Amino acid sequence: MTAFAFFRLPKENKCTLIVQRNGEPENISAFRNLNGKTGFVIAPFDISEFTPLLVIHPEERRVYKAFSDIEKEVVEELEECALCNNSDEGTDSAAENNRTRYGIDFNNFHSQLVQGGFRKIVLARKSKVSGETSHLLEMFKRACEEYPRMYISLFSTRVSGTWLIATPELLLEETDDLWKTIALAGTMKLDSNMMSQENNDTDSGIMSFSEILWSDKNIQEQRIVATYLTECLKNFSDEIIESGPKTTRAGNLIHLRSDFSFSLKKKSVLGDLIEAIHPTPAVCGLPKDISKGFIIHNENFSRKYYSGFCGPLMSDDGTHLFVSLRCMQVIKDGFLLYAGGGLLSDSIEQQEWEETEAKLETMRKIISC
Q: What are the CA-CA distances from residue 216 to residues 61, 321, 332, 346 (Å)?
A: 46, 30, 43, 10
Domains of the chain in start order, with CATH, are 3-368 (3.60.120.10)
Provide the residue type at 70 as one letter. I
C-alpha to C-alpha distance for 312 and 102, rounded to whole angstroms? 35
CB 187, CB 198: distance < 8 Å: no
The candidate with the shortest Cα–Cα distance to 250, out of 308, 313, 216, 204, is 204
Provide the residue type at 116 as one letter. G
C-alpha to C-alpha distance for 194 and 191, rounded to whole angstroms? 5
Q: Residue 300, Cα to own-chain centre: how many angstroms?
A: 20
The candidate with the shortest Cα–Cα distance to 135, out of 196, 203, 67, is 67
C-alpha to C-alpha distance for 164 and 335, rounded to whole angstroms? 10
> How many other C-beta atoms lie within 10 A of the C-beta of residue 18?
23
Q: Count Cβ neighbours within 10 Å for each residue of 326-365 and write b for 16 or more, e otherwise.
A: bbbbbbeebbbbbbbbbbbbebebeebbebbbbbbbbbbb
Cite the beta strand spans of 24-177 per DSSP E.
26-28, 39-43, 53-56, 60-64, 120-130, 151-157, 161-167, 170-175
* Phi–psi pair at 126, nearest 5 degrees: -130, 155
C-alpha to C-alpha distance for 181 and 319, rounded to whole angstroms? 12
User: Mind listing the pLDDT tens digit of every residue in the chain (369 residues)?
Assistant: 999 999 999 999 999 999 999 999 999 999 999 999 999 999 999 999 999 999 999 999 999 999 889 999 999 999 999 988 887 765 444 445 589 999 999 999 999 999 999 999 999 999 999 988 889 999 999 999 999 999 999 999 999 999 999 999 999 999 888 999 999 999 998 876 655 555 555 444 444 555 688 999 999 999 999 999 999 999 999 999 999 899 999 988 999 999 999 999 888 899 999 999 999 999 999 999 999 999 999 999 999 999 999 999 999 889 999 999 999 999 988 999 999 999 999 999 999 999 999 999 999 999 976
